[in-house]
Amino acid sequence: MQTHEIRRRFLDHFVRAGHAEVPSASLVLDDPNLLFVNAGMVPFKPYFLGQETPEHATATSIQKCVRTLDIEEVGITTRHNTFFQMAGNFSFGDYFKEGAIRHAWSLLTSSVDDGGFGIDPGLLWVTVYLDDDEAYGIWRDVVGVPEGRIQRRGMADNYWSMGVPGPCGPCSEIFYDRGPAYGVEGGPEADEDRYIEIWNLVFMQNERGEGTGKDAFEILGPLPKQSIDTGMGIERVAFLLQGVENVYETDLLRPVIDTAERLSGTRYGVDSASDVRFRVIADHARTAYMLISDGVTPGNEGRGYILRRLLRRIVRSVRLLGATGDTMAEFMATVKEAIGPSFPETIAGYERIERIAVAEEIAFLKTLESGTQLFERAAEEARESGAATLSGRQAFALHDTHGFPIDLTLEMAAEAGLQVDEAGFRSLMSEQRARAKADSRSKKHAHADLSVYRDFLDAGETVFTGFTELTDESTLLGIVSGGESVSVAREGDTVEFVLDRTPFYAESGGQLGDRGLISTAGFQMQVDDVQKIGKKLWIHKGVLTGGEVEAGQLVTAAVDPEWRKGATQGHSATHLVHAALRQILGPEAVQAGSLNKPGYMRFDFNWSGSIPADVLAQVEEITNAAVDADYGVNTIETSLDEARRMGAMALFGENYGSLVRVVEIGGPFSMELCGGTHVASSAQIGPVSLLGEASVGSGIRRVEAYVGMDAYRHQARERALVSGLATSLKAPAEELPDRVAALTAKLREAEKALESMRAAQLASRAGDLLSAAEDLDGIRLLAHDDPGGSAGDLRTLASDLKGRLGADAGVIFLTAAGSDKVPFVIAVSPAAQERGLRAGDLVKAIAPTLGARGGGKPDMAQGAGTDPSGIDAAVSALRSAVRDAG
């Protein structure tokens, strides 16, 4: 049965039963809790919560879904997809458990001729939540499923929520038995590769709060109405009904595998490692296609990052299979043909889908080969040194230089038997983001209503005299306050002044606007910023710090000379750094942005890879050599054509006028078109201290530097730091790297030794604790509280104690009381299980005393409570439960 028919049969079944057919929502919804729609019920969330009134009491849909938490399972298991189609039926206060169960069973087991899927009822198993006796009874007494094929499971398996605050409830799942060839007997509890979940019936009756995982969250209370949310996995039913081995070999995904075979020359079904790559390609190609269709584009954060990760995993996987040429266009075309009949709207937007996917492949291919070589060198160095971990700096270099998502580095490291210092990587990423945001400024007039300045613009442009003057007499043409033109400004007012002429430089070309004063004998204004409007009107922004002024008065405009000096040093240093980079890297290193202010410069340029430290050191040396050479700085006004004949660089694709300004430093050393202010000679710049370089976007690098006295102060701090370390470590400065490396190695060894001691201590305690167990009619009960212990320690200790019981019947109850939480573990030995004790049942017995919830398997269960004072009562309840069973 083809997938498109499975979809149609599902919808027809529920439409006949009176449900309204609802189209799928976009994968991207305006929900701050979700990156993507991850379940069929998400579009109906307001109905379940009672926030909106549904148009229909019952509904059915085939919802597009994406889940990325299981991305590492893709290709390995038989059942995990990132994109999948969730067929669902919904009741908003209409029918409840029995209705949902009857509808599902009817569709699954009715004959094909009658519109069903024709599945043999004898192959179906069901699970219910631990204490859901009602659902258990319906399956057994109404539907007729034998008790042996109904299993009770804990919260992690049979209590459903979206993973975030919202509606939730116990659920009942339906599983298909693929037969003994696929695993052991015993139902879903024993083997979920043999027993495949195909439908989840969620009895929406509660609202959950914050929490983590599938079972560590608070139940806030009941929903306004008891409702139904079910989800049948289209892909899972398809692979079972089509008689293939997994979800990747169905009619919707197998064509992508066939395309990958053709492009790579490798056959599917021959090698297990290659098969995983084929399945990753098939799954990710379809997911990427659907994400792009719903408006997602590749990026470095959020949804864009997920898409980029998927596309790059495809590229890497098909290369590992042997493909050498471009492949993405063929994969997207294959997906379109396969999924188009179900989602015809994607065909209309196909050109965009293909264009975005292909562009990402091209971008990644440029760096994949060199990045892989860098990784292999780093991995080999780690092995030779005996290390088992790649450093955070190495992972960051792969990301920063070669565009490797950290997930790809983790994946490659796992394949190489290595770990990655993720904490170190995250720290470096945080530093990069901080640098990228540093000193960014909002252009306040970018989207403002500029009508208030219209008369000033029409009257003519501001005359800028700041190239030769720092003080000038001007006429105050107008005052703007609160977005309106006013005639008078008084002390304390935040205002904008429009002058007929000004020595103040307005922010442009990366150079910040000047600071200074505008004043007369009767008032004073502190200028904090200067901006241009329409490229010809200067707006001076600031606060009146004294007096009162009226429009039309004569004023004195005076630039702060120290500010201007620092700004010109920073701007001229930027030209020198640009020239030095081009000397070392070549003409491709072209400016892409800059920021200059007193004591600091930031310079962005086009370059596809990171700049090694030794190369950056050369750039710094060439820059400072130019400073030391005391080159003259000349400005020339000429035609654009003449400037180009002179060799001046025109930047940013600007629209230059017929007359341009060329800034020349040291003749041929640096010659650029520039409207900024500059020093008179390069020696006035002072020292330039490069701080480092980083990526700020695809193909864009950034260098930062301190300039002048700020560079001197930075170097002085660095010297003091090195001197302090040398004194503390009693080593010469040149030996510090080796000494720090040795200390780091010792620290790691000490941490490993501490971990070994901790494990040994837990093991040594086990024997003493077990001797204190009480005997309850032949069943040994050990209850022990370890204040401040971790849940992991409890699990480890419980496993050890259970093993030490050997053939004895015993129950272990361990708690770790804190100020407000009580993690706990219950372990039951095999002999105690034979006497009817189950860890999950014992959790239910103690839960009320601790204000707890939890669950698990018969041999071990765990959870957490909120009432540490209830531990003694919990032990008493456990003692009673053990006696009752014994």
Q: Where are the domains of the chain?
A: 3-244, 254-437, 451-559, 564-716, 756-885
Query: Is 678 assigned a ligand-binding role in the annotation?
Result: yes
Q: What is the pLDDT of residue 96?
A: 95
Q: How far apart are CA 826 and CA 808, in angstroms?
A: 16
Closest CA to 85 of 195, 252, 232: 232
Say yes or no to pLDDT of 863 above 50: yes
Query: Is 171 assigned a ligand-binding role in the annotation?
Result: no
Q: How far apart are CA 855 and CA 156, in angstroms?
A: 7
**Quick check: do 3-244 and 564-716 share a fold?**
no
DSSP 675-719: -S---SBGGGG--EEEEEEEEEETTEEEEEEEETHHHHHHHHHHH
Q: What is the pLDDT of residue 435?
A: 53
Q: What is the pLDDT of residue 510?
A: 87
Query: Is 4 assigned a ligand-binding role in the annotation?
Result: no
3-state secondary structure of 161: strand
CB atoms within 10 A of CB 760: 10
Closest CA to 26 of 403, 303, 254: 303
Is residue 638 within 8 Å of 659, Cβ to Cβ?
yes
DSSP 14-44: HHHTTPEE-PPPPS--S-TT-SS--STTGGG
Q: What is the pLDDT of residue 579?
A: 94
Instruction: State the burial class of residue 737 (Cβ atoms within 10 Å of its Cβ: 0-12, 13-18, 19+).
Output: exposed
User: At a CB cut-off of 8 Å and minimum separation 6, what does 251 contact?
Assistant: 2, 3, 238, 242, 338
Burial 48-59 (b: 16+ CB within 10 A, else e): bbeeeebebbbb
Residue range 595-610: average pLDDT? Answer: 87
Report helix, strand and coil shares of the chain as percent, to nearest 5.
45, 25, 30
Q: How far apart are CA 439 and CA 227, in angstroms?
A: 52
Q: With cut-offs at 50, 70 and 90, classify the pLDDT of residue 402.
A: low
Closest CA to 22 of 58, 72, 74, 70: 58
Q: What is the pLDDT of residue 539?
A: 93
Q: What is the pLDDT of residue 866?
A: 87
Residue 833: CA count within 13 A, CB half-sphere: 16
Which tops the pLDDT comparison, 659 or 594? 594
Q: How far apart are CA 117 and CA 61, in angstroms?
A: 18
Q: What percentage of residues in the chain have a pLDDT greater than 70?
A: 93
Q: How far apart are CA 128 and CA 109, in angstroms?
A: 19
Looking at domain 756-885, its CATH architecture is: Roll (3.10)
Identify the weakest region by mean pLDDT among 375-389, 568-582, 669-683.
375-389
| Residue 468 in tokens | 């030769």
Identify the weakest region by mean pLDDT among 263-277, 324-338, 416-430, 702-716.
416-430
Q: How far apart are CA 81 and CA 74, in angstroms?
A: 6
pLDDT tens by residue, 189-215: 999 889 999 999 999 998 888 877 777
Say yes or no to pLDDT of 446 above 70: no
Q: What is the pLDDT of residue 208?
A: 86
DSSP 584-617: HH-TT--EEEEEEETTEEEEEEE-SSPPPHHHHH
| Residue 592 in tokens | 């892409």
pLDDT tens by residue, 843-859: 988 999 998 877 788 89
User: At a CB cut-off of 8 Å and minimum separation 6, what does 493 contact?
Assistant: 481, 543, 544
Q: At what angle do helices 328-339 and 254-264 cross, to 10 degrees?
A: 160
| Residue 582 in tokens | 């081009």
| Residue 409 in tokens | 């580095």
Q: What is the pLDDT of residue 68?
A: 80
User: At a CB cut-off of 8 Å and minimum separation 6, what does 727 contact?
Assistant: none
Q: Angle CA(707)–CA(711)–CA(717) in degrees, nearest 5?
A: 160
Phi, psi angle pair for 290, to nearest 5°: -70, -35
CB atoms within 10 A of CB 543: 15
Q: With cut-offs at 50, 70 and 90, classify the pLDDT of residue 440.
A: very low
Residue range 489-516: average pLDDT? Answer: 93
3-state secondary structure of 130: coil
Q: How far apart are CA 318 and CA 332, in angstroms?
A: 14
pLDDT tens by residue, 450-495: 567 767 876 778 999 999 999 999 999 999 988 888 999 999 999 9
Phi, psi angle pair for 447, to nearest 5°: -125, 20
Phi, psi angle pair for 247, to nearest 5°: -70, -15
Q: How far apart are CA 597 and CA 593, in angstroms?
A: 14
Length of the chain: 886
Q: How far apart are CA 89 and CA 63, in angstroms?
A: 11
**564-716 in CATH: which number?**
3.30.980.10
Q: What is the pLDDT of residue 653?
A: 37
Instruction: State the burial class of residue 680 (Cβ atoms within 10 Å of its Cβ: 0-12, 13-18, 19+).
Output: exposed
User: 602 - beta bridge partners?
Assistant: 595, 704
pTM: 0.49
Instruction: State the burial class of residue 2 (Cβ atoms within 10 Å of its Cβ: 0-12, 13-18, 19+).
Output: middle
**56 DSSP assignment:** S
3-state secondary structure of 183: coil
Look at strands 822-828 and 600-606 and give their pairing. unpaired
Q: What percentage of residues in the chain have a pLDDT greater than 90?
A: 51
Q: How far apart are CA 280 and CA 411, in angstroms?
A: 13
DSSP element (H, E) containing 548: strand 537-550
Say yes or no to pLDDT of 53 above 50: yes
User: 665 - beta bridge partners?
Assistant: 633, 670
DSSP 729-792: HTS-GGGHHHHHHHHHHHHHHHHHHHHHHHHHHHHHHHHHHHHTPEEETTEEEEEEE-TT--HH
* Sign (positive or negative) of CA dihedral 529, 477, 559, 650: positive
Burial 852-868 (b: 16+ CB within 10 A, else e): bbbbbebbbbbbbbebb
Instruction: State the burial class of residue 811 (Cβ atoms within 10 Å of its Cβ: 0-12, 13-18, 19+).
Output: buried
Residue range 806-820: average pLDDT? Answer: 88
Residue range 388-410: average pLDDT? Answer: 76
- Tell me which long-range contacts 798-801 makes (C-beta under 8 A, separation of at least 24): 798/825, 798/826, 798/827, 798/860, 799/827, 799/860, 800/762, 800/763, 800/766, 801/766, 801/769, 801/770, 801/827
Torsion of CA 793, 797, 802, 806, to 10 degrees: 150
CATH 3.40.190.10 fits 451-559, yes or no: no
Report CA-CA distances (Å) from 770 to 176, 765, 795: 43, 9, 15
pLDDT tens by residue, 403-422: 676 767 887 788 778 888 88
| Residue 26 in tokens | 């976009």
Residue range 497-505: average pLDDT? Answer: 95
CATH 3.30.930.10 fits 3-244, yes or no: yes
CB atoms within 10 A of CB 738: 10
Q: What is the pLDDT of residue 654?
A: 46
Q: With cut-offs at 50, 70 and 90, classify the pLDDT of residue 436.
A: very low
Which tops the pLDDT comparison, 854 or 123? 123
* 733 φψ region: left (φ > 0), alpha (ψ -120 to 50), beta (else): alpha
pLDDT tens by residue, 732-779: 888 888 888 899 999 999 988 887 786 677 677 777 888 888 999 889
Q: How far apart are CA 647 and CA 645, in angstroms?
A: 5
Q: With cut-offs at 50, 70 and 90, classify the pLDDT of residue 651.
A: low
List, in sequence order, every beta strand (DSSP E) within 137-215. 150-153, 159-161, 166-177, 195-212
Is residue 809 within 8 Å of 779, Cβ to Cβ?
yes
Give residue 98's Cα distance to chain centre: 41
pLDDT tens by residue, 281-302: 999 999 999 999 888 888 767 7
List, in sequence order, every beta strand (DSSP E) within 640-685. 659-665, 670-673
